[in-house]
Chain A
Amino acid sequence: MHKILANTVFLGKDIHFLTECHSTNDLALEKIRNREVAEGSIVIADSQTKGRGQRGNRWWSEPNKNLTFSLVLQPFFLDPSEQFELNIAVSLAVSETLSDYVKGIKLKWPNDILHEEKGKIGGILIENILNHKGIEYSVVGIGLNINQSISEIPFATSFFNLTAKEWDRWEIFKLLISKMEKYYILLKKGEKNQLRRRYVENLYRINEIAEYDDGEVFEGEITGIEQSGKLIIKKSDGSLNYYGFKEVKYL
């Protein structure tokens, strides 16, 4: 395949297609080291055999049914302490694309995309290369369940499940990349506050009382995120608690 994207300015003008690979993020990182890719390059695989969620957790995907790809970016305009902003921009791009077709798409902090009733539809995994100057490269990995029919995994779903029809993966990919470019440009222009506000508005369980576990089970309400991206949960005693990833579990 030698398709390029016509509906973008700089994203997806260089696309590396693979029928299969371990992880598009790993491959993109390798290609960065070999100087085979630049900002805007995309690595996309029909099936991913060792896709990763968080460190070690596998992201399971049926061959030729879903979308798994990685974008190469160079957000040198972000300080390493601001990298959550990139996660925000990408999350918004994905949720906005899906929300054009399905209601109820939410962002589960920090980087899952889900349907508020049916569960997880995809995720984002960002890996950066940092040197002493700051962020040299970001690899934005995106995995979305598109045409896979999911019934046995609890609180997981696909675009097929949500819309009851099969989709052309290439068409969804094109929409995603064009949204991604739009949000990346907003970020580059410094629209951080606007993006942050929209991320928080679209958070799964925002301003809802629900159960969490931070060592002990409690009832609380997500009220937003702190500057570095930490999740803020208000407990019933009124205290505001700040959590990094893995410091709190959704029950």
Chain B
Amino acid sequence: MKAKEIQDLIDFISNSGLAEVKIETEEFKLSIKKYSEAPAVKVETVAVPATAPVAAAPSPVVAAAPAPSSAPAKEDTSKYLEIKSPMIGTFYRTPNPDSDPFVSVGDTVTAGQTVCIIEAMKLFNEIESEVSGKIVKILVDNASPVEYDQPLFLVDPAG
């Protein structure tokens, strides 16, 4: 199953009224769950595609698929974690136009700390990091549009 197909499936399910879907074939097992009060799977490494409502079964096919699209080609970023956008919107690094950024490269963040704002239709969302570590790269320019699940920051958990 290709990354695009998985993404399409997720889009389809998130627009449906279904809360949870499990699909199993000879090749793979896929389990998708929408947000509930129970936490979904946490991000463990860059390669695992899941900040979000996706609880991927431990099938190599599913786990490996989205990696090529999200991992930058040049440097080895495999030891870094990503903070991803939980929604479509506009990315802001500062709480207000005249304030300092929430975080900059070299800063240490702890889980639960606000790292940016994403605005959509004049609703403002403070995004909390779910990981702790040192910010090694900011992947999106201030005031740019971001997609759902788009990586925003690279974090070195050892940093």
B37, A76: Cβ atoms closer than 8 Å = yes
Residues on A with C-beta less than 8 A from B123 are 83-84, 86-87, 126-128
Is B6 in the interface zone, CB < 8 Å from A? no
Of B35, B43, B98, B118, which is within 8 A of A134 by CB? Answer: B35
Whether the Cβ atoms of A56 and B98 lie closer than 8 Å is yes
Cα A161 to Cα B119 in complex, Å, equals: 33
CB distance from A238 to the nearest CB of B (A): 25
Q: How far is the CB of B75 from chain A (nearest CB, A)?
A: 25
A contacts with B, residue count (CB < 8 A) = 31
Interface locus among B22-30, B64-72, B86-94: B86-94
Docked pose: A32 CA to B51 CA in angstroms? 23
- Residue A209 interfacial (CB < 8 Å): no
B34 A79 Cβ-Cβ under 8 A: yes
> A127 touches which one: B35, B51, B52, B126 (CB < 8 A)?
B126
Known A-B contacts A128-B125, A131-B112; A55 and B35 likewise in contact (beta carbons under 8 Å): no
* Chain B: number of interface residues, binned into ranges: 20 to 34
* Contact A134-B86, Cβ < 8 Å, known A55-B92, A81-B148: yes
Bound-state Cα–Cα, A116 to B148, Å = 36
Would you call B122 and A130 a contact (CB within 8 A)?
Answer: no
CB 8 Å contact bits of B129-141 with A (1 = contact, 0 = none): 0100000000000
A 125-149 binary contact with B (CB < 8 Å = 1; else 0): 1111111111010000000000000
Quick check: A133 and B40 within 8 Å, CB to CB? yes
In chain B, positions 41-97 with a C-beta closer than 8 Å to chain A are 42-43, 51-53, 86-88, 92, 96-97
Q: Which residue of A lies closest to B118 (CB)?
A: A130
- A230 CB to closest chain B CB (Å) equals 7
Residues of B within 8 A of A129 (CB): 114, 125-126, 128
How far, in whole Å, are A29 and B95 apart by their CA atoms in the complex? 12
Could you show 19 A-B contacts with beta carbons less than 8 Å apart? A55-B96, A55-B119, A56-B96, A79-B35, A81-B87, A81-B88, A83-B87, A84-B120, A110-B122, A128-B126, A130-B118, A130-B125, A130-B127, A132-B130, A134-B35, A136-B128, A228-B88, A230-B121, A245-B120
- 10 nearest A-B pairs in the assembled complex, by CB-CB distance: A229-B121, A134-B35, A80-B87, A132-B130, A131-B128, A245-B122, A127-B124, A128-B125, A56-B97, A110-B122
Contacts from B to A (Cβ < 8 Å): 14, 34-35, 37, 39-40, 42-43, 51-53, 86-88, 92, 96-98, 112, 114, 118-128, 130, 148
